[in-house]
Amino acid sequence: MTLAPNLAWASRFDWSDEKAVVIFWHILSERQQFAGDRDYDWLEEISDAFIDDINALLRDAEARDEVPDGTFVRSLLFLRFLASISPMERALGLGRRGPAHDWAFRGISTDHDRSRRLNRGFSYLPLRQQGDPLIGAAAMRSLPRWCITFFLLARDANIRKEIVETFAVCWDILWEMLALDGPGKPDVQFEIFSALSSIASWAIIEDYSKRDEWVAALVRAWHAGKIPRRATSIVAVNFITRANSTTGRSIRDWALEILHSFGDTLREHERLQFLVATIDTHERWRAARQTVFDEIEALNDRASAAEEVGSSALFARDARIDILKPLIRLLVLEQDLAGAMDLLRAWYGKPGALPCDDNVLFVHPALGDGVAMLWPGRALISFDTTEDGHEIVVDAIDRALRIARDPDAETIEEHREGMPDYRQGPGVEAAMLRYYRPTELAAAFKRLSDPRSMVVFPSVADPLQALLARHLSLMLPLEVSLAEALPMRSIREISIWAGYTQFTHFELQLIQEFAAQNGWLATVFSGSEDGDAEDFRRFYEQPDPDILWVCGHGEYVAHRLNETGIVVAPPRTDGDEDSFAHVILPMETIARFQTPNDGRRLLVLNTCSGATTQGMAGMARIGLAQSLVQPNQMVIGHLWPASAAVALAFGGLFASNLGRHDVIAAFGTTLAELRDPSAIVPLIEDRLGATFSGGFRVTSAVDELSNILAWGCPVLLT
């Protein structure tokens, strides 16, 4: 085995020796613990090597027709399951949902492929049965730990309901374990009730058929005094959800009891969570306001400290934003725009940054079946605007981006998921018009002055900025930083990262010629055609350019920050002069690069998926463009992979408009001009005063450019 050189084997390992297998597991678990205390990547490396070896042995056993229920195979299944638990727990604790998902299935499937979103391989949760080897007892003892993490992951990372249902049998098994092994063992009781709570929380989110039955069982255990004190807050979280009606008490009553009687047991975010649950009126919000902000500050301090051990503060904040959602909903319904903005600034704001003002259009989708929009001094709150509410927009966008929501219904081409099907564009716009009703919005808001930006909470993938620009003539940058912006720099110099695409040379021509018309210096950054990560850092940290313009390719992978970013293409080191390595420069790495502070520059990411975000419960902040927005940097990106023609048309029009308008107006004008695809090339050539050599690339893609999937793809972020 891969790990064998690191362990002192006296002879060939005997898998039929049950005690030896248990000893072997203890050795591995100690090494996992040792690695996990020091370096998560090391823990992953050790665990990966072990599971790879186990899977190789299982495949070999299958080829030899080894008895599936024999000691050898069962020992391997139990060991693989055990080896997956620590890295799964650690990954989820660090906010790394993608790796946590992989570890969950690495432990129960031989065929799980990390590179795929959808795995159809057989998965098997090994549960101890009569005649099993001793290692089965160790696996069974660890079942509560596995359930705690797996069902939280299923709840938060949208593991398919039909898959999770196959493991719902764990509910009954855990109660049996509690009866047999729980008496007199507080640690066992704590783990089992924590696991039961995790399963119940998944059932609540999914509206699982046994939701009320399971919550009622936890309530009975509460009243019978069976829940250990350490687990009370963990279990009681289920009582302050939409399943509260089965508990016999109000959400506020439960929250007050936990805060008053079990406050010493609260950990991390729980005090804030129960505090928010006590606030059910605007008057109570005013009374508890400062306490809420104090708790948010303490939680943010812990999130920042956790970054030192590999946690992502980005993920940590959005993973817990559900805590604030009931309170923000209350403030929206009370039309308290300032209160809602104060909460978001406290939650997301960067230390030391001056907060932005409240002059925003605050959009709260998925409010019942309707939407709420707040503006300083004005509001439009509608319920039941459409049957199925915001789901009609979600369904339309999923179809347009080829994202299958029922993977068993058709063949899935994963390599095309996320790629826009431009034929579906009219359906997306129609769904958005039905849901958002911009005509009614225009009538409700007789503007005295324009808002500065738009805040969308909770986040959606909808091209709302472009929709409002078209139907309200209102161009609002999407608020990301929640900080006061520095004054925009006057344009004098543009620096271009000329990453390779089929149309890069056409885009360069337009940028440079329009810059020359305006008396600006526009240069291609030396080495960008085949630059590496260090070249991009030097490009990004230049102090002089007022605009950084990135041509090339971007990547976005859900739940994987290290696979989301800019593609750089340095030459290979294997001697092939005509071959380039395609390397992802991750968004978190780029976000650590320095940005000059003398005014605000513009970063144009005219790449695929530059502004695609991880859809979670809060603001849209987990994406490349979003991570780079700062008081000293405004960013343009694309919501999904833009076709080469869309990127070229946008780039050409925007470059032509920059000398005629300020950045925001130039962007709005560009979106308006994109909506008339047959006029794009004539406009560019008229402003250019010459023939555009790449014009045929745009005119041949008129069908792509004619709908919201094209002109709604670029977004401006502030």
Higher pLDDT: 544 or 403? It is 544
User: Average pLDDT for residues 534-554, to the nearest whole number?
Assistant: 96
User: Average pLDDT for residues 553-569, to the nearest whole number?
Assistant: 82
In terms of Cβ atoms closer than 10 Å to its own Cβ (0-12, 13-18, 19+), residue 502 is exposed
pLDDT recorded at residue 620: 79
**Model pLDDT for residues 128-139, shown as the tens digit of each residue:** 777 677 888 888
Higher pLDDT: 718 or 379? It is 718
**Model pLDDT for residues 25-39, shown as the tens digit of each residue:** 898 889 988 888 888
CA-based nearest residue to 1, from 18, 16, 19, 15: 15
Report whether pLDDT(91) > 50.
yes
**Model pLDDT for residues 236-294, shown as the tens digit of each residue:** 999 999 999 999 999 999 999 999 999 999 988 899 999 999 999 999 999 999 999 99
**Model pLDDT for residues 203-249, shown as the tens digit of each residue:** 999 999 999 999 999 999 999 999 999 999 999 999 999 999 999 99
User: Average pLDDT for residues 4-20, to the nearest whole number?
Assistant: 65
Q: What percent of the chain has pLDDT over 70?
A: 91
pLDDT recorded at residue 5: 42
**CB neighbourhood size of 686 (10 A):** 11
pLDDT recorded at residue 572: 54
In terms of Cβ atoms closer than 10 Å to its own Cβ (0-12, 13-18, 19+), residue 231 is buried
Q: How far apart are CA 648 and CA 698, in angstroms?
A: 7
pLDDT recorded at residue 446: 65
Range in 159-168, 316-325, 431-440, 709-718 the model is least confident about: 316-325
Higher pLDDT: 33 or 494? It is 494
pLDDT bracket for residue 462 (50, 70, 90): very high
CA-based nearest residue to 343, from 278, 283, 272: 272
Report whether pLDDT(411) > 70.
no
Task: Classify strands 601-606 and 547-551 as parallel, antiparallel or unpaired.
Answer: parallel
Q: What is the pTM of this model?
A: 0.88
pLDDT recorded at residue 363: 94
The token pair at 270 is 């729980």
> Based on C-alpha coordinates, what's the Rg of the chain?
28
pLDDT bracket for residue 189 (50, 70, 90): very high
Greatest C-alpha distance within the chain: 86
**Model pLDDT for residues 315-338, shown as the tens digit of each residue:** 777 778 889 999 999 999 999 999
pLDDT recorded at residue 405: 56
Q: How far apart are CA 558 and CA 440, in angstroms?
A: 35
The token pair at 686 is 């008229």
pLDDT recorded at residue 410: 52
Q: What is the mean pLDDT of the chain?
A: 88
In terms of Cβ atoms closer than 10 Å to its own Cβ (0-12, 13-18, 19+), residue 574 is exposed
pLDDT recorded at residue 7: 47
Report whether pLDDT(448) > 70.
no
Range in 414-418, 456-460, 483-487 the model is least confident about: 414-418
pLDDT recorded at residue 32: 87
In terms of Cβ atoms closer than 10 Å to its own Cβ (0-12, 13-18, 19+), residue 601 is buried
pLDDT recorded at residue 10: 55
pLDDT bracket for residue 598 (50, 70, 90): very high
For the chain, the distance separating the N- and C-terminal CA atoms, rounded to the nearest angstrom, is 53
**Model pLDDT for residues 17-72, shown as the tens digit of each residue:** 888 888 888 988 899 888 888 888 888 899 999 999 989 898 888 878 777 777 88
User: Average pLDDT for residues 659-663, to the nearest whole number?
Assistant: 96
pLDDT recorded at residue 581: 66
pLDDT recorded at residue 616: 58
pLDDT recorded at residue 287: 97
**Model pLDDT for residues 664-694, shown as the tens digit of each residue:** 999 999 999 999 999 999 999 999 999 999 9
Report whether pLDDT(560) > 80.
no
DSSP 3-state of 528: helix
Higher pLDDT: 300 or 446? It is 300
User: Average pLDDT for residues 712-718, to the nearest whole number?
Assistant: 97
Residue 31 one-letter amino acid: R
Report whether pLDDT(597) > 80.
yes
pLDDT recorded at residue 439: 84
Report whether pLDDT(6) > 50.
no
Report whether pLDDT(299) > 80.
yes
pLDDT recorded at residue 603: 98
Q: How far is CA 54 from CA 69, 77, 289, in A?
A: 16, 8, 54
